[in-house]
Amino acid sequence: GIFQRVGRMRRSFARFSGLRDVIGTLGKTTGEKLQLGHWAACRRVFDYDDVRKFGEVTGDMNAIHLDKDVAASAQNPLNLRRQVPEDEPRIVHGLLVAGLFPALFATKLPGAVYVSQDLRFRAPLALGRGVLVFVQVKEMLREGTMAALDTTVYLDEEQMWSKLRSLDSQGTEVVDADFEAFDARGIIRGNAKVLLP
């Protein structure tokens, strides 16, 4: 039943291998007031084990996530649009990838409460490909007790990561122009609201 699934979910997420290379001005200084423009980013690669565990926990055992032959078949609508590579046609669950947003908030803003999220899935993520997750404060709400953030997952790009690392080392905010060249690499876009501690 549902309670057994929730128990498995807790155990699986306890083993979740986590984020790597977390950077950004969001929550950088303990006690610093969150401001417009503050940002955070991280990178992650999902493997078959991650996808299998997520499928078991949620009950989403769709073969396009788990079975290479089915995922490569002509019946897979994503193959018809040539959005997945031939060498690895299986795709990562979109909600597993989007789960990096609250993980990033928890890492950079301990104690914050993830209140809402809207998502637009623009392209699938093939198993084994890296992603770069980026969040940025766009508006402060409720007298500074809540933040509205833009949330984006990009296909990982070394040039983009290098630019972010440079901005991070300078303590500089990211502006839209910094990402215009990478816009086509955005696979998930959305907006989130976070209640601040």
pLDDT, one tens digit per residue, over 143-188 is 989 999 999 999 988 888 888 888 888 877 787 777 777 788 899 9
Cα torsion through 119, 8, 63, 127, rounded to 10: 60
Instruction: Answer yes or no: are the C-beta atoms of 135 and 150 closer than 8 Å.
Output: yes
Q: Which of 99, 92, 91 is nearest to 13 (CA)?
A: 99
Q: Which of 44, 56, 45 is nearest to 13 (CA)?
A: 56
Of the chain, the percentage scoring pLDDT greater than 90 comes to: 46
Q: In what order do the strands lie in the sheet with 130-141?
A: 20-23, 39-45, 130-141, 146-155, 186-195, 113-121
d(Cα 189, Cα 119) in Å, to the nearest integer?
A: 6
For residue 197, pLDDT beyond 80: yes
Lowest mean pLDDT among 76-80, 133-137, 170-174: 76-80
Instruction: Answer yes or no: are the C-beta atoms of 190 and 122 closer than 8 Å.
Output: no
Q: Tell me the β-bridge partners of 137.
A: 149
* pTM confidence score: 0.83
Q: Could you say which of 3.40.50.300, 1.10.3720.10, 3.40.30.10, 3.10.129.10 is the CATH number of the domain covering 2-195?
A: 3.10.129.10
CA distances from 135 to 19, 170, 195 (A): 14, 18, 15
